[in-house]
Amino acid sequence: MIFKLEHSINERVKLPEKYGVELYIKREDRIHSFISGNKYRKLKYNLQEAQHLGFKTLLTFGGAYSNHIAAVAAAGKAFNFKTIGVIRGEELQNKINQNPTLSFAKNEGMQFEFVTREAYRNKTSESFLNHLENKFGSFFVIPEGGTNDLAVKGCEEILNKTDKDFNFICTAVGTGGTMSGLINASNQNQQILGFPALKGDFLKEDISKFVSKSNWKLIIDYHFGGYAKINEDLIGFINRFKADSNVPLDPVYTGKMMFGIFNLIENGYFPKGSKILAIHTGGLQGISGMNTLLKKKNLPLIK
């Protein structure tokens, strides 16, 4: 068995009493220093499967700031797999050192295949995968973002028995794998709320493929214009939240989720007496990359 994963701690987030609700945050960001949060959960059974099938190499796909790329690189190093990252954007080839995510992944031993955006769209075509196999030898493919049946199974382990007391469980959503695992592990009387980090009209359908319950809902008002798009309101919120609670949030996923939760609390969305659990899915490695972009735009930085 290559993985031993503990349950993470729920920390109380202080809120003004007038709201009449309790908010806790599950620190999945703390389960490993480099294989962060939900990415670790999603990789667990995929890596076991790869090992079981005798693969020595993992191959996956992602953008220049991808938490998934960083996690696969680190997991490969930790569990003795070679790793290959197919990266969207040919131009990044010469900019690895300026990009904290790619430099980190390279340091963990990941080899890269940089491709044009057009080639990236066809990244799972047979001809492209054959080309990669000729170049790198055989490999176990982990999908972009890491979501498949085995990933959902891993995410079912985020919740434990004592979490049954919560009325609402909230998570950020990218591909929906994490949310699917939470839904499968939930009780029928709990509501799972997903906060998409992007305009994802396809998400409802995608999640439905992995779940059979109906106690869930996507809250689609807090994507801030799209994936990895942020503004000064969000930066201000993330910095205040850290100053008040000592919990860092990432700008792409957990910051948007928590912004949304606070907004809903202020608007009286949750009935009085509700106990809310927000999953901290990690992603903190993305802060320095985002700060590089913010600096160029002369915007305030994430502290």
Q: Which residues are catalytic?
A: 66
Closest CA to 270 of 20, 71, 93, 15: 20
Judged by beta carbon, residue 177 or residue 248, the one nearer ligand PLP is 177
Q: CA-CA distance, 233 to 101, in Å (whole number)? A: 25
Site for ligand PLP in 103-162 (CB under 6 A): 145, 147
Judged by beta carbon, residue 15 or residue 228, the one nearer ligand PLP is 228
Min dist CB 219 to ligand PLP, Å, is 14
The single residue among 108, 113, 144, 250 that binds ligand PLP, judged by CB under 6 A, is 250
Min dist CB 250 to ligand PLP, Å, is 5
**Four-CA torsion 152, 158, 264, 215, nearest 10 degrees:** 50
Min dist CB 29 to ligand PLP, Å, is 8
Judged by beta carbon, residue 38 or residue 60, the one nearer ligand PLP is 38
Rounded (to 5) percent helix, strand, coil in the chain = 45, 15, 40
Helical packing angle, 177-185 and 37-52, nearest 10°: 90
Strand 10-13 and strand 22-27: pairing? antiparallel
The single residue among 40, 61, 253, 259 that binds ligand PLP, judged by CB under 6 A, is 253
| 212 contact partners, CB below 8 Å, separation of at least 6 | none
The single residue among 105, 173, 276, 277 that binds ligand PLP, judged by CB under 6 A, is 173
Q: Which two tokens stand for residue 16?
A: 């003004």
Phi/psi-derived region of residue 263, left when phi > 0, alpha when psi is between -120 and 50, beta in every other case: alpha
The single residue among 83, 175, 186, 291 that binds ligand PLP, judged by CB under 6 A, is 175
Looking at beta carbons, which residue is closest to ligand PLP? 283
Q: CA-CA distance, 224 to 75, in Å (whole number)? A: 31
Per CB under 6 A, 38 contacts ligand PLP: yes
Positions touching ligand PLP (CB under 6 A) are 37-39, 67-68, 145, 147, 172-179, 250, 253-254, 281-283
